[in-house]
Amino acid sequence: MNPIFIQKADGTSEEFDIVKLKESLVKSGAQPTVTDKIIRKITEDLKAKSEKMGKKAVCDATQIYKQAFAMLKKMSISAAARYSLRRSIMEIGPTGFPFEDFVAEIFKAQGYQTLTDQMVLGKCVPHEVDVIAWNEQKLLMAEVKYHNELAGKTDLKVALYVKARFDDLSQNKYQYTEGVPARKLDEGWLVTNTKFTESAINYGECSKMKLLSWNYPQEGNLLDLIEKNKLHPVTCLTSLTALDKKSLIGRKILLCKELYDSKKSMKELGMSEAKIFKTYSEIGTIFGELDGVEVALNS
């Protein structure tokens, strides 16, 4: 087979790596038989395309994702939901405000109280802060950068700007809990739903600013925190339509676990009992709380 090159979302291309595809499928929770069948089918299709196109066949990474997702959806609903998780975060948008609420939920899951979209006075000037989180030990403030494209990255320029804001905020004291003395900011966070550039990471580590993205840090990144704390967004559910998801987010229902506790909201959106049951079942399989119903594989 001639080499197959994959064009990524940022416009660059790299040779197709079957290991990466397998790792992403395994990480989604797909069973070995499911993973093997998807890899075999995609590889066969790429081989056919390579023979047709000649020496250097270039395929769109998005098309490979869509093919894998479509097959997963037929064979393992829970794995399909996990496989689409990164894109599901983007579907929370198109503005970044719901993502700020989502980041607040991440801090809540770690024992913090939170506020979003606050005007906070630094030493010199006031700043609009996306997320404030605090407990007895720490006071945190976070700048949230949302991208609605996979290729979007948060760069050094943003990191420098955000660090300057945190430096000003750190010169003041704040009181968010009644009866607790005002205190200084302990940590400033820069959070993004995609990735950081290498220079932004280097600067963040050097300046002691906390960074959180889809794949950074290596442990405790956005994906890890979502899985660990069961913070899967409703946008990952394959049983819901795009309109269902938009309507739920408009009602401030961002998380699967919130939807699981709100049958009333599903009824108010006009969902049938059959669809509600299907949605409950899917959430249950994602969380591992119900026996997942895996569709039998055709040979």
Q: E-strand spans in the chain? A: 4-7, 13-15, 57-60, 113-121, 126-134, 139-145, 153-154, 173-174, 183-184, 187-192, 195-196, 210-212
Q: Rounded distance, CA 46 to CA 293, Å?
A: 30
Hey, where are the domains in the chain? 4-75, 97-228, 239-299
* 184 beta partners: 173
How much is the pLDDT for 1? 56
Instruction: Tell me the β-bridge partners of 212.
Output: 191
Query: What tens-digit pLDDT sequence spans the chain (299 residues)?
Result: 567 788 777 777 888 888 988 988 988 888 999 999 999 999 888 888 777 766 666 788 888 999 999 999 888 877 888 888 888 998 887 665 789 999 999 999 999 999 999 999 999 999 999 999 999 899 999 999 999 888 889 999 999 999 999 999 999 999 998 877 899 999 999 999 999 999 999 999 999 999 999 999 999 999 999 989 999 999 999 899 999 999 999 888 999 999 988 888 889 989 999 999 999 888 988 887 433 333 333 32
Given the candidates 3.30.300.30, 3.40.1350.10, 3.40.50.720, 2.100.10.30, the CATH classification of the domain at 97-228 is 3.40.1350.10
How many other CB atoms are there within 10 angstroms of residue 287's CB atom?
Answer: 14
What's the confidence (pLDDT) of residue 295? 33
Tens digit of each residue's pLDDT (9 = 90 or more) over 25-72: 988 888 999 999 999 999 888 888 777 766 666 788 888 999 999 999
Among 160, 167, 217, 157, smallest CA distance to 187 is for: 167
Listed residue (132, 139, 136) closest to 180, CA to CA: 136
Residues 21 and 39 sit within 8 Å (Cβ to Cβ): yes
Which pLDDT score, from 0 to 100, does residue 116 have?
96
Identity at 69, one-letter amino acid code: F
**What does the pLDDT read at residue 291?**
36
